[in-house]
Chain A
Amino acid sequence: MKKAIYILGFVVGLTFTSNAQKKITGKVKDQLGQPVAGALIFEAGISSNNTLSKEDGTFTLNTLKADVIEVVYADAKSKQVKIKGDNQVEIELNRSDEIVNMGNARITEIRKTQAVTTVDADEINKDASVAVSDALMGVTPLAIRGQKYSTLIIVDGFPRPWGYLAKEEIESISVLKDAAATALWGASGANGVIVVTTRRGSYNAKKITVDYKQGIGLPINLPQMANASQYAKAVNEALYYDGLPARYSPADLDAFASGTGDPDLYPNVDWMKEGLGEHSKNHQLNMTFTGGGERIRYFSVINYKNDIGILDPKYTEYDGRFSTQEKNYSLNIRTNLDINATKTTLVKLTMLGMLRENKGPNSSDAAIYGNMVGIPSAAFPVFTQNGFWGSDNIYKTNPIANIASVGYSKKNMRMLQSDMRIIQDLSMVVTGLSAEAAVSYDNNATYAESQKKSYAYEVNTPVIDPVSGAVTKNSAVFGDESSLTYTSSLSDQYIRSGAEGKLIYNRSFEGNMLNVSAMYKQESLIPSGRNTTRKKQYLLGTVGYEYKDRYLVDIVVNHYGTSVLSQGDQFRTYPAVSAGWLISNEPFFTSKVFDLLKLRASWGQSGLDNLDYELDRQFWIGGNGYYFKDGNVAYGGTKEGPLAMKKLNPETGDKYNLGLDLKVFNKLAFTADVFYERRSDILVSGSTTVSSAIGIPLPDICAGVNDYKGYELSMAWNENTRAFNYYVKGNFSFVKSDVVENYEGYKPYDYLSRKGKPVGQFFGLEAIGYFNDWDDINNSLTQKFSDVRPGDIKYKDQNNDHVIDQYDEVAKGYSTTIPEIYFGLKLGFEYRGFGVDVLFQGVTNYSRVLNTASVYWPLRNNTNISEWYLNGNTRWTETTKETAGLPRLSTLENANNFRNSTQWLVDGSYVTLRNLNVYYNFPQSLTGKIKLNNCQIYARANDLFSLDHVKYLSPERLSVGYPDLTALFLGLKINF
């Protein structure tokens, strides 16, 4: 707290002599030149001295020293305007000079020295996707500057999940990237911060929006699995090349091929076709109420969503007692209130209540979707002739029964997110001084209930009479149709709370501006269970100074404490300095072409405290015990727990950033950033150098170092006229990571080292072909993974030791975790009310490994085989030796073929049409008659197509689960 007092003293010590009253008159207009009524105008730093614009947009403000005035208009947007020369001002509201909310600090776009990307409501709401995080698609990778995990999400000033918000609740999303911005969040911010600001009311206005949309989801990227006949042939082929006897006799193969055999013994089930319906369905109704007067403003949302899953109703309604369709409902109710309690006191209340229900069959995704892919068509029928569920002795399950006959499970989530913030103008004490205090309290509880049952299944095995060859079947029924058993529990619960207090001093004089703040903040997250509570507290000081409208400096010092560090050593200090030069404001810069030309530079640090508790202490824990004596007497055991870590440190990012902001012709905006970050104190294994003779697993050490460097470019071209407007926006980001230190220990060959390679670099053997025959095997080097047979993959000996083993694994391709290049392109136009928005997004310099069982790695350990292996490519057989692109089939584990190698490595690049939005606004002449301000119909689509190198699944997701969907929506939006 001491620091805050010093800063306050410093602020009070500053005095500004001029105290002359000044009268400002002006007019507020929007981008198209229309007057804006109900904008709140006040002198920067003295919010109590304010006025509202009238119907024609005009206002009059008596100021003390009017260098800068702040304008707050609809939906929590605001901007700062400089007064120059005469006391007349025309204020045009446009997005580019709005105030950017960085959570713990705000700054105007124009004087910003930090690397921050902002997306606002207009852009967010054009997107067809439902998930809020998708709003950043094509704008910035969610792996901010190469960091895939632990991005800090801030909603209205406090850390909160954002996944449950409806897009309609959001005013803007800012992505903080460099240290000048992330140092504001201390040891939580190193992996980037996403700041979400929700919408708020507006002055002298009343607006109601009703938006209803209905959509369907069409499954895409479904793997095409072999039919029964193909499967049986493939198994026999695999067994043949494994040197094992065939499983299916020629008669069996005929029976599968003709499809006329006993369906209990010769089934042919397309599990996905059987279990999946045509499409999923969803509805969304959103109503927002915005408005208010001088004393109270409100913004209210009621958002209702439901989503009916893709399972075939034939089976979800199979048991008359319950439905097992996957259904998700959610209802969000938000009320954000801004209350002028006194002339100098503003109270902001933010409340979100949420009810959510997720329902579905009482099975895991793997039991349903995994089995639809993994169980061969030829395994067993859905139902046997005797009316039981089909199954066999290998799988002992039935994916369709797992939908229809296992009961249902349901999760109910209730959440409250609330905070209250009081802003007190203290200009009566010191001109330009204000104070803020805020508390937040969020509570979430998820209740789970299920009605569970088991099912009986019948296994039919053929019995062949050794004399006559006649096939009869041997039937056995396992399990039973149990009655429903009900269970319920509290499955998840947490409380998040936070509190902050802040003093802000904000004054401007003769083209100079000073903004100083001191803040204390604390946050806690208390889930159920001991030792999972996380607490953080910090003192944050910021200084922003602008000299002669041209030179900008920002300083941040964050003294940050976190409960996971050692007692007595819980605080770290994160400094950051950034500076900007507004070249376009220099007297010598006379070009009329440039509206803005700014250079930025920043350096600073932020951290990441995602450590577990008490890593620095060693405890003794209960062991397994022992049983002395000839009797049932347990001797409790006590043994040492994990060794203590010597010194706990949060990860530290030392970040450098250079930026350029450019605006030309008032139409083209361009931003470029170059960055470099050294990330140190990363947790790495400490065991690679210490002898196992120590007898206990070694603790990790905070000693890893990675480098990240790259650049980000973004460009936007906007042209607006009353009848026609269009835009083109492009984004491109490149990040290259480099492992500098990882304590990997001794590597016998340099190329085995992960150092100097990107984080997540692919390592594998280099496939150089297939063994043609036994002579080839005998004349080739020994491969030490499993016995090789003709048709197996032959690898390159990298170290010339004449043995192929794991020492021959080399780096190939790129990282399999983070793409180096990420890009997005947004295009759109609007003409006479008709508009189109398109978003393409893609990545490149990215590697993926095709190792999904059944789909790409067939038949081993009783898995299935896909068309990809059978017909999409040429596998090795005795007749396709020359042209083969895949190894032979095998039913065995075959560790030689099925391991990381260039055989399975693919380019993970893709370009996807993420979003398409087509809309029509009915003309005012029409809507005015029925008292509507606006009426829009729209059609939207998500993930319409993708260009990539991966057949079946997508490079974004190579696992088998709930199918990927292309979402289509039709909607109607009405403004009153």
Chain B
Amino acid sequence: MSSRKNSHIGSKIVNLAIYIVLSLLLLIIFLPIVWIIITSFKPEYVVRRPNVWMFTPTLENYIYITSIRPIWKPVLDTFIVAFSSSVLSLALGTPAAYALARYRFRGRDDLAFWILTFWMSPPVAFVIPFFLIFDRLGLLDTYFVLILAHTLFNLPFVIWLMREYIRDIPHEIEESALIDGYSDIQVFMKITLPLVKPGMVAVGMLAFIFSWTEFLYSLILTSIHVRHLTVEVSSYWTIAGVVLGPMTAAITISMIPALFLAFFLQRHIVRGLTLGAVRGR
């Protein structure tokens, strides 16, 4: 049994190595974030001295972005748009992905590819016609137009990713349900959806994030009534330098609602009900 023992020690070393490498990785990922947060508490005379770590923390940057240049409305507006467009993309995209994954029909793969082409085009090319249509319709500077634009861009990737996740589910379960007499829709809602929950949560979160950090259309399609966070934060970039204190404070505050949502959701990216339970064993 010596081989067992050796492999035991060997695997312990490998384990340790993996932990070290991954911890380093996480350090690299989080170091800039820590820098942002610390910088947001620096008073003006220290803010541009990046390697000064001893300083009296101050709330002046946060006061600035909550009173003089309030960040509340941009955060709220961006949350509304991101939440709505991600929910909408999931609601529209998951059924479409289901059809593309489970049904066979002529032109199916071509259709899937055509959907993806919307994801391939440089957004900048289409922003002017987009702007012009909605200007004529008088719909500029509304939540509706931005949600629509973001949903348009989110749909292709939602559909493609959900299609893969749905494909990962063995079809036998659905087959048995269909044989038992359940309708396609019931099968989709009651069997597929629960099993593909991890995928939906991940894709939903990504759709949310893409909308949250979208810049070009948010800039062009909205002006006064809807303020998007990315546009607001960009105004801290002036030709006389980046206003670092308020910008880092804005980034820090704006992260919070998104992180709350993420924390609430990430619990659901877990291996769902196992097939064992489903088969009633």
- A and B found bound together: no
A-to-B contact residues, CB < 8 Å: none
B-to-A contact residues, CB < 8 Å: none
